[in-house]
């Protein structure tokens, strides 16, 4: 009788090499909100081109200093982890870098910049993260209509729910570019070049 394999005790997510190269080349501070979002949307499109994840990217920025704290893309297919959405990875990397689970502690003011509206899971992660703001390009309804992803039971009053918890919401910045990235994913999907990784279809 063979001995059972030990239960896993840890897990991790690695950013793809191409993303690490992109991040290494970017300035440490990005004051312009439009420039931030354009970079995030660019990464969302490249994620599909590189085949490392879905058409989503995110960034955490310190609004007091404009310092970029973390950058991430969706790495669900490459990591084998359903939780490895761009938002959850970006928030986790920011918390790891700062050594705190609360991105709003002691007067900190961090914004999550994301190429698409957070799904049900990422909405919860955003609330728990302590971030003080979120900047969203494409809305969830467009994500579902274009790509076929199931964004989960996001409440109709999600914006009000966030604002009630002290999280400022901005939407529509670079929306056209974000929608183009989503359509690029859809085209690749229809051609069989990528996968729709919903757990339930």
List, for residues 102-146, the tens digit of each pLDDT value: 999 999 999 999 999 999 999 999 999 999 999 999 999 999 999
Question: Torsion angle of alpha carbons 190, 15, 174, 152, nearest 10°?
Answer: 60
Name residues of the chain where pLDDT drops below 50: none
Residues 6+ apart with CB under 8 A from 76: 53, 54, 82, 84, 85, 197
Tokens representing 105?
Answer: 């502690």
Residue 195 pLDDT: 87
| Burial status of residue 152 (CB atoms within 10 A of its CB: 0-12, 13-18, 19 or more) | middle
Domains of the chain and any CATH numbers: 20-190 (3.40.140.10)
Q: Supply the pTM of this predicted model.
A: 0.95
Active site residues: 87
């Amino acid at each position: 009788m063979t001995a059972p394999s030990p239960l896993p005790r840890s897990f991790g997510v690695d950013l793809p090499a191409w993303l690490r190269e992109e991040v290494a080349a970017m300035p440490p501070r990005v004051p312009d909100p439009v420039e931030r979002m354009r970079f995030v949307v660019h990464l969302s499109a490249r994620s599909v081109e590189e085949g490392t994840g879905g058409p989503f990217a995110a960034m955490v920025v310190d609004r007091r200093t404009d310092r970029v704290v973390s950058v991430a893309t969706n790495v669900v297919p490459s990591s084998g982890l359903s939780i490895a959405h761009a938002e959850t990875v970006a928030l986790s990397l920011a918390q790891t870098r700062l050594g705190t689970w609360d991105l709003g502690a002691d007067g900190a003011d961090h914004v999550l910049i994301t190429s698409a509206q957070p799904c049900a899971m990422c909405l919860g992660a955003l609330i728990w993260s302590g971030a003080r703001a979120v900047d969203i390009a494409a809305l969830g309804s467009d994500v579902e209509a274009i790509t076929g992803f199931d964004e989960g039971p996001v409440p109709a009053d999600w914006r009000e729910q966030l604002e009630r918890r002290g999280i400022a919401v901005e939407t529509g910045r670079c929306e056209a570019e974000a929608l183009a990235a989503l359509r690029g994913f859809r085209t690749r999907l229809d051609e069989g070049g990528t996968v729709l990784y919903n757990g339930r279809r």
